[in-house]
Amino acid sequence: MNITQALTIAGADNGGGAGIQADLKTFQELGVYGMTVITAIAAQNTTGVQGVFPISYAGIAQQLDSTGADFEPHAVKTGMLYSAAIIRLVASKWRQYGWSNLVIDPVMVAKGGAPLLQQEAVQALIEELLPHALITTPNIPEAELLTGMSINSLSEREEAAKQLVQMGTAYALIKGGHDAGSGMIVDVLYDGQSFHYLENARVNTRHTHGTGCTFSAAITAELAKGSTVVAAVTTARAFIQAAIEDELGFGAGHGPTNHFAYQRRQRGER
């Protein structure tokens, strides 16, 4: 049996909606064997983050080495990396093991507003890791932090995508979910030469916890299976749209998305 493998390097979410847990669910739903390197443990629920507990540098390094010594991931995604030291470590191990198809989800702030990336780590992400990326997938606030721009229009999203590609990522995907000015969500994908636009109807729901993690994990899974970037993003957009539309309704705050929804639709179930 030839099963593709994907690795996620990210934080753990005990509520299961985001981070490592969301990534593994998404990999599994898309037929990819998932592996993990855990960088931090977040104590959180749908109402917010109550605490973040980083894994030691040595513990993260050993996880990376254990993975690199015995597995061959066909794609790798990063989520919450937390500190500049961890970012530099991941970049070093990336080079050491010759991994490919890096998807950077620059997790910086939780849905409820809690910071998930230390301020000094932003520059390390730009300098150390972004040049290795096949695709980087910020939302609008994350793109503003990475580029130093204020983003209030589609043209400014396009300019931010261009700047990210100039920083080294091969593709930049600026997600449009934080743009409240339209009934449609427009995600902007830039490949260094041309733009691709993915449009979906906005869903009026508070159950959107983990959307960025899930979206980037779906891209990673599809890249691991050999899809082109455009095809991977297109499938991932359908995956996250279904996950938002078919809401689970958990919790008193920002509830998790429905990782079952896409495959159930593929099978004709709802």
Query: What residues are labeled active site?
Result: 175, 208, 210-213
- C-alpha to C-alpha distance for 218 and 227, rounded to whole angstroms: 11
Condensed to tens digits (0 to 9), the pLDDT of residues 115-165 reads: 556 667 888 999 999 999 999 999 998 999 899 999 999 999 999 999 999
Count other C-beta atoms under 10 Å from residue 133's C-beta: 26
Q: Is 33 exposed, middle or buried, given 0-12, 13-18 or 19+ CB atoms closer than 10 A? A: middle
**pLDDT at site 178:** 61
Per-residue burial over 102-117, b = 16 or more CB atoms within 10 Å of its CB, e = otherwise: bbbbbbbebbeeeebb
Condensed to tens digits (0 to 9), the pLDDT of residues 218-250 reads: 999 999 999 999 999 999 999 999 999 999 988
Helices and strands of the chain, counted as H and E runs: 9, 9
Question: For residue 103, what pLDDT band results from cuts at 50, 70 and 90?
Answer: very high
How many residues are given for the chain?
270
pLDDT at position 77 over 60:
yes
2: left (phi over 0), alpha (psi -120 to 50) or beta: beta
- C-alpha to C-alpha distance for 39 and 37, rounded to whole angstroms: 6
Report in angstroms the alpha-carbon separations of 154 from 173, 178, 198.
Answer: 13, 12, 12
Q: What tokens does 11 get?
A: 């934080």
